[in-house]
Structure 1
Amino acid sequence: MAAVAEGEAMMAMGDGEVIQERSRGTRRRAVLAAPALLLAARARAEEGDFSFRVMRRGEQVGTHTVHFAQAGRERVATSEFLVVPRVLGIVVYRFEHRYEEVTEGGRFRRVTSRLNRNGRIVEVRGEAVAGAVLLDGTEGPQRLPAEAAPLSWWEPQRLGRVPIFGTTTGKLLAITWEVGREARVCHGEVEAVARYDAAGRWVGFSARGEDGNDIEYAPA
């Protein structure tokens, strides 16, 4: 299973930020050239918000919602990702990732994240300051480039253009991107595909989990 923010690209996707390699080459080019091959459903809880069902092998195993609020000049995005697969009605695993990102004029300002991976808690904090982004996570305090930003799939303009850090680990991600008009394909520590409509709005997501099964987002 996989978990978006990288949370989704993590859980098993959960950014462990480790996702098993997806096939490349022709398959990747096809994704960029033929968006219809991937899940592409608009998901609105409210105007501007996102609400998805997390699907694995045709069954819902979780949810991912993103809610936006305006606080003066700042926009606050609250992402909540929850995966709780069950066997015979019994929860066999729990993956919860909640984080809050603040931007101003489209620029990253700060983020706080809390991951509960089956009882193991990881907290990450990051803030943009003069000339740098200060990050504190699993590897302790770090000073990142000033343009660094978290892996937030609903912010396609940053993907492939600035250094990206994981909100479930608090470190820069070793990733590369294929940027298409309506897709962002990520390789490396995170292997995933995010889909966007013509206006740049996030509408779909697909990744492969550690167990080898694909997860996809469906409209809630």
Structure 2
Amino acid sequence: MPLPRLVWSAALLLALPVSCPALANPVPLETDYRFEIRRDGSPVGDHRVTLRPTATGLTAEAMSRITVRLLGIPVYRFEYQSTSQWTDGRMVALDSRSNDDGTITTVTARADGDRLRVSAAGGEGGGGDTGGGPVVAPLGLFPTDHWHSGVIGADAVLNTITGDINRVTMTAQGRETVPTGFGPRLSTRYVYDGDLRATVWYDDRGLWTGLRFAARDGSTIDYVCQRCGSSPTVAERAP
């Protein structure tokens, strides 16, 4: 029996207003994030984010590859890539493509005045099959690429795999030590609830240090930091 899809499913809530957190403290523009993806503790892939400055802000490129094997034979593959453009701390354009074991979904988002127009194609349900035209959301909506800690406090996010606007709450659940390629790093754990359920970690500089969520087959997916921006200062390291 094939493994269930690893992506999250969520209802599309077009009629509900959404708001975005304040952007007074922009995230540090570190140039490289690299994570090992583990399924129930075993490595199955990798995830990378590269940030590049532009004349008007920055470009963020994200890429994931997952291969699950059974007795050495690939039984599930997932590939994801996205490119987003940012100006004044807000996402003004996004193009993403995911291949979920043969199911292709594309998502595009473009700023239009003070709004963000989102379209999706392909996929199974969600934004890709609504057939109702672009989704309109406030400019400043954060995508589910997770690298931007400005998302803390948001009550909605753009699901870059489905194109849906996911209604969420984010709750801080304390500080703890997170393993990274530079050694243990003190980080704050935040838990997503609502249309999206996940746990994400950010350090004191707002750098993304970890991610965990449950796959639809019941396994646990962890993004374990190999490089989370630059090396932390002495004060930021775990004792």
TM-score between both structures, scaled by the size of structure 1 = 0.76
Task: Give 3-state SS (helix, strand or coil) of 2:150's partner.
Answer: helix
Q: Greater CA radius of gyration, 1 or 2?
A: 2
Check 1:68–1:146 CA distance in 2 against 1; reply closer, same or farther (3 A cut): closer
Check 1:150–1:122 CA distance in 2 against 1; reply closer, same or farther (3 A cut): same
Check 1:128–1:94 CA distance in 2 against 1; reply closer, same or farther (3 A cut): same
- Report what 2:40 is aligned to: 57
> Does 1:206 find its partner at 2:212?
yes
- Report what 1:172 is aligned to: 165
- Report what 2:78 is aligned to: 95
| Structure showing the higher strand proportion among its residues | 2
Contact 2:199-2:212 at 8 Å conserved across structures: yes
- Report what 1:77 is aligned to: 60
With 203-212 and 161-170 compared, the bigger mean Cα shift is at 161-170
CA deviation vs aligned residue, 1:25-57 (integer Å, no higher than 9, x gap): xxxxxxxxxxxxxxxxxxxxxx53110111122
Structure 1 vs Structure 2 CA RMSD: 2.0
CA deviation vs aligned residue, 1:34-82 (integer Å, no higher than 9, x gap): xxxxxxxxxxxxx531101111222101111101112212211111011
| Structure showing the higher helix proportion among its residues | 1
- Report what 1:130 is aligned to: 113
- Report what 1:146 is aligned to: 139
Structure 1 stretches lacking a partner, 5+ long: 1-10, 19-46
Structure 1 runs of 4+ aligned residues shifted over 4 Å read none
Displacement after TM superposition at 1:160 (Å): 2.6
**1:164 & 1:58 partners in 2: Cα distance?**
28
CA deviation vs aligned residue, 1:173-199 (integer Å, no higher than 9, x gap): 122221467222101222111111111
**1:48 & 1:183 partners in 2: Cα distance?**
23
Displacement after TM superposition at 1:90 (Å): 1.4
Structure 2 stretches lacking a partner, 5+ long: 12-29, 121-127, 176-187, 227-239
Task: Give 3-state SS (helix, strand or coil) of 1:157's partner.
Answer: helix
Identify which of structures 1 and 2 has the higher relative contact order when contacts are C-alpha pairs closer than 8 Å and 6+ apart. 1
Displacement after TM superposition at 1:202 (Å): 0.5
CA deviation vs aligned residue, 1:135-166 (integer Å, no higher than 9, x gap): 11113312212332322311111233363111
TM-score between both structures, scaled by the size of structure 2 = 0.70
Alignment equivalent of 1:159, drawn from 121, 142, 152:
152
- Report what 1:106 is aligned to: 89
Percent identity, aligned pairs only, is 28
Displacement after TM superposition at 1:103 (Å): 0.6
Number of residues paired by the alignment? Answer: 182
